[in-house]
Every structure is written in C-alpha cells, then in structure tokens.
Amino acid sequence: MGIDQISNCLVSRALSDQAKWKPTVAIRSSDPTGLDQVAAYETEPIRESLQDQFETSGAVVTNEPTKADYILYLNTPKRDPNQFDAFVRELSASITAGKRIAIADTNLGWSGTADPELFDALTATRQGPQLVSYAGWNTAGNTMGTTIPAANAYLIALQTSVPGLRRETAARKFVLHRLVTDYFYNRYVRPEAYRMIERMQDGNREEISAEANVEIVESYVKKDMTERLNKTFLDQMVANPFRVQEKTYNVVALRNIVVELPWPRAYEVHIDFDLDVREISN
C-alpha cells in the first residue's frame, strides 16, 4: 500500500471516528483461491492486504451480505473464467437490485492495468454510475486502498448531514474519474505516451528532459484523455438518472475539464472536472 493509499485509509478512519459509526462490508471475490495469491509488486497475499485495508480504514467485515452496508466485489488475479462469469452476473444483479456496491479490480498483472473483461461488462450495462466506488490501477494494494476508503466515505456521508445530492454527485464524479483514468489512461494513453518519449530520448522513458518535449507529450495526453472522458461521460452518464430523496436527477454536462501531467513524465495523469446535475421535472 502506497503513501497515498495509507492516507486515504487514515482519512476514512478519521471520518468514521468523527461520525462514531463504522461501515460494515461483505466481500465477494471472482475466484476465492485468488485471495491467497501474492499479486504483482506485492509482498503478501491479497487476503492479508485486504484485511489491513479494512482495519486501517475503519471498516468492519461481515460474512452476512444482507447485514452489510456495502458489498466489495473483488476481482482477483488469474481468476477462473467460469467463476468470473458467475461473478459478473451476480455483480450486475446486485447493482440492479439497488445494493450498494464497490469494485476493486486486482487482476492487474505486471502492466498494472484494469481487467478489460470486467470493464467491458460494467460499461456495457451502464451500471458504473450506480457504484459507490471503483478502482483498478497499478497494484492490488493501490486499488484496494482507493476503493475501500471511497466506499467508506460514501456510507459515512449517508449517516451524517452531508446533502444527498452532493453525496451522489461526488460518487458519480469519483467513479467516472476512475473509469477513465484507471482503464483508458493506463491501458492506451500512457503506453503511447511512453513510446513518444522513447523516440525522443533514445529509449529513456522515465523522465522527460526537455521542456519542449513535455509540451508535446502533454498536448497528446490532454487531447486523447479529454476525448475519452467526454465519450465515457456520454456513454455512461447522460440519460442515466438517479434518485435522491424522492427527486430524480440527470447528469447533463461536464465543466471545467483539466487534463495535465503533474510531473515531467507519463507515469500518471492529473484529471479534474465538474458535473452539472439537473432535476428532472415530474
């Protein structure tokens, strides 16, 4: 678990302590044997890392899904295809049934990119915006340390005075951000940015040395990621209404889009935006 993920978990725990309430979570895995695997770049089995994440973030695990505040669907490395198909069907049915669902995709391999079959299944049904959180990037620890604190924060917001529309809009922004960044940037845009840098620097892609080259790579990243963000927004969120306190809303527009390289390298990208939400007249 990286520094940012430890920070996420500690913030989640602080919110839980402040609210004097701990979210309860049930776990569903795409392949139970995968919980005992040591994922790429990790030093302990996923099962142990997962327990550390829950303890650090202030969540409590239950073996009874009907008593859980949310269910974490964990996609494990090298999952069995048949079990994965059943996992995806159950995941979709749980979302349709209105259960609060978080997804941690740890089937990342050495490339650190999200599982395309899980991503395609989720986006084909347009169910992503109904999740309380999602992540699938870099390492299993980073993924779990992103998904779990975000889901905890959502559930804590339900227990406190956070306005419902603010809570639901923030959750949708978080999931859209992760779908675009975790999947599209890591799988498509970053590899192409690396190829550009390697051509500029005789194979060295770790850091861009010339300011002019930074501008070239950043221009490519900004154009491509802005297009992918807009397309994912239109495909997944537009005309996909949600309800808050007996009122129905639609996300209708993206505003204030920012796409940039936070450092002179292509390893990560900074993306920010606002969502415009409008009440649907009955």
Residue position matching structure tokens 């048949």:
82
Indicate if 34 and 105 belong to the same structural domain. yes
Count up the domains in the chain and report the number.
Answer: 2
Extract the tokens encoding 23.
Answer: 């979210």
Residue 236 lies in a domain: yes
Indicate if 28 and 152 belong to the same structural domain. yes
pLDDT in tens, 168-203: 999 999 999 999 999 999 999 999 999 999 999 988
Extract the tokens encoding 146.
Answer: 């992103």
Q: Is the predicted pLDDT of residue 2 greater than 60, yes or no?
A: no
Indicate if 135 and 188 belong to the same structural domain. no
Distance (Å, whole) CA 197 – CA 189: 12
Indicate if 18 and 114 belong to the same structural domain. yes
pTM over cut 0.85 = yes
Distance (Å, whole) CA 10 – CA 12: 5
**pLDDT value for 12:** 80
**pLDDT value for 6:** 63
pLDDT in tens, 123-177: 999 999 999 999 999 999 999 999 999 999 999 999 998 999 999 999 999 999 9
Extract the tokens encoding 66.
Answer: 């009907």
**pLDDT value for 282:** 62
Distance (Å, whole) CA 279 – CA 263: 39
Distance (Å, whole) CA 2 – CA 256: 29
Distance (Å, whole) CA 207 – CA 192: 15
Indicate if 188 and 54 belong to the same structural domain. no
Q: In the chain, how many H helices and how many E strands?
A: 8, 8
Give me the domain span that covers residue 88. 3-162
Indicate if 122 and 184 belong to the same structural domain. no
pLDDT in tens, 23-41: 999 999 999 999 999 998 9
